[in-house]
Amino acid sequence: MKELGLEIINKINDYGYIAYIIGGYPRDYLLNIETSDIDIATSATPMELKNIFPDIKIVNDKYGSVILNYHNYRFDIMTFRKESDYLDNRHPSKVVYVNDLEEDLLRRDFTINTICIDKDGNIIDLLNAKEDLDNRIIKTIVDSNTSFSRDALRILRAIRFASFLNFNLSDDVSDAIIKNKGLLKKISYERKKQELDKIFASNKAKEGIELIEKYQLDEVLELSNINRIKDYSDIIGIWSMINPSKYHFSSSERDLIKKVNIVYDMDNLDNYTLYKYGLYVNVLAGINKGIEKKDILKKYESLKIEKRDDINITTKDICNILKRKPDYLISEIYNDLERKILDNKLINKKSEIEIYLLDTYSNRKDKDE
């Protein structure tokens, strides 16, 4: 990836513009963290980049944002710019393209994200960010109160970087989070969720959530019962514990979250609960209640049936045995069979089921009449 990134910035340089690999990749490169995400900053405008790379996709001309697919890899490229007049604690109302790298760096969030790599692969560190890397500390480029008031989402980004990198927050950043956390209420749920997803999906989710609790961000983020989280290995499991009613999820994700919350108040080692809601849902709920995953798995594997189709009799068989047409009673019978088989009160063999049906339901029609 680095070699491809250098090819791109050298090609931009060949057209008379300057360009650098910037942000997360140089930071992680110096920390010996593998990453395939490369951002590029350049003095070329989107239209000038379009002349160099005809297939480039202009995402936002105002912010100088384009996407280049190069040798089947995606590269985000941004034009150098400076920003001013932050009116909504998120977006600048005034954006001006500039030709100076340092001016562009001064608008960014944290010092550790300002390290660059030039066309020859050299490290460029105009703001002494490497010192903060060495000291493992998160600092804003300008005063933290000013930085967070410009873009309140940086509060969550500070949490994410501190947890993922195992860095400390500077006193200035820490104090500013406490003072400005209410500004997160002005940020869209979509953008907050994007940052929270990155925190929750990380192998340092536990540390990130502990920081959210430490700074009492759960209240302004409208995440309830965050102390219910005991397992940090599954992002849906985490979201399920905090009842994120105002955040957007796909229909399948929301269905899972709903089911996890239903079985949270049930016995996750109960045969019928495991059968009805499945292994995954019960594991997500159970391990957050302190039940060992291996115990839930062992219990699930002992189930005589895992789905209705596993019952060794068909609807046609039932109708023939009871000499009746398919009707409302069939569903009732299947519910009964499920319970009996799961509770080991009925062997899942067609001959045994047939006897049970004749004993239990053969006169049912006459009674109904």
Query: Taking all residues of the chain, what is their mean pLDDT, rounded to a whole number?
Result: 92
218-249 b/e (C-beta count within 10 Å ≥ 16 → b):
bebbbbeebeebebbebbbbbbbbbbbeebee
* DSSP character string of 282-340: HHHHHHTTT--HHHHHHHHHT-S-SSGGGSS--HHHHHHHHT--S-HHHHHHHHHHHHH
Q: How many residues does the chain have?
A: 369
Write down the pLDDT at residue 87: 67
Res 275: pLDDT: 97
pLDDT of residue 93: 65
Kindly report the pTM of this predicted structure. Answer: 0.87
Closest CA to 240 of 292, 288, 188, 187: 288
Indicate the CATH number of 1-132 among 2.30.30.170, 3.30.460.10, 1.10.3720.10, 3.40.640.10: 3.30.460.10
Unique residue bearing structure tokens 């009746």? 324
The token duo for 97 is: 């393209």
Q: What is the pLDDT of residue 367?
A: 44
Q: Which H or E run includes 65?
A: strand 65-70
Q: Which phi and psi (to 5°) does residue 181 adopt? A: -60, -30
State the DSSP H helix or E strand holding residue 11, giving kind and residue range, or none if neither.
helix 2-14
Tell me phi and psi for residue 77, to 5 degrees: -120, 135
Give the phi and the psi of residue 74 in degrees, each rounded to 5. Answer: -95, 135
pLDDT confidence of residue 86: 65
The contacts of residue 113 (CB under 8 Å, 6+ apart) are: 22, 23, 24, 27, 129
* Residue 235: predicted pLDDT: 96
pLDDT at residue 90 in the model: 59
d(CA 323, CA 326): 10
Residue 69: alpha-carbon gap to chain centroid: 24
pLDDT for the residue numbered 324: 83
At residue 37, the pLDDT reads 87
CATH code, residues 136-221? 1.10.110.30
Helices and strands: H and E segment counts in the chain:
19, 11
Q: What is the pLDDT of residue 84?
A: 67
What pLDDT score was predicted for residue 364?
66
- DSSP, collapsed to helix, strand or coil, labels residue 79 as strand
pLDDT at 91: 66
* Digit-coded pLDDT (tens) for 321-337: 988 888 888 999 999 99
H or E element, residue 211: helix 205-214
pLDDT given at position 95: 80
Contact call for residues 305 and 275 (beta carbons, < 8 A) = yes
Low-confidence ranges of the chain (pLDDT < 70): 84-93, 364-369
